[in-house]
Amino acid sequence: MPLVTPLSVNHGLETKALAEFFNETLGFCPNSVLTMQHRPAISKAFINLNKAVMTNEGRVSSALKRMIAWVSSNATGCRYCQAHAIRAAERYGAEQDQLDNIWEYKTHTAFSEAERAALDFSLAASQIPNAVDDTLKQRMHSYYNEGEIVEILGVISLFGYLNRWNDSMGTSIENWAVQSGELYLVKHGWTKGKHI
């Protein structure tokens, strides 16, 4: 049972508008956002940050951003966000080989060296204590310009917020996210955990 019950998508006009935005991105409105809607200013700020972070300004693709989100969520242990991130990666054009082998990104041929650098950066930046070191910084600069590094860290930071929100709330996971989790993640032990 979640700490706070999500509002219905039919709660009011603002909530319906939120649902429409996420229907385009995920195919459904996440319960996390419907929980934030108890304080509409929080949900609006989150959506605006989400839009700013996920807009592509350089060579960091929409699919890579979602895989960065998955690595970050995996590092923090948020099963809710792991399923959402892999579903979003699927919807935003990640290659099938990448989806099937996300757990093996460090060695699988479906991932380029630039993608590995970004995903390693996501892992290191999501750990406590932070594990970003000079070697990783050099790798990032060898593949990405400063604006692209800002985009990548924006994704990691956005999901840091979401990981803490959803794990603390015990947000109930939606069936569509469960389907993606079961398709791509369950073979390595993914479960709904507390997000029932």
| Range of the structural domain that residue 41 is part of | 13-54
Calculate mean pLDDT across residues 134-154: 98
Residue 152 pLDDT class (50, 70, 90 cuts): very high
Residue 176 pLDDT class (50, 70, 90 cuts): very high
**What number of residues does the chain have?**
196
Same domain, 77 and 165: yes
| pTM > 0.85 | yes
Q: Where are the beta strands (DSSP E) in the chain?
A: none
Whole-number Å distance between alpha carbons of 93 and 114:
17
Same domain, 77 and 163: yes
Same domain, 167 and 85: yes
Same domain, 81 and 169: yes
- Would 103 be classed as within a structural domain? yes
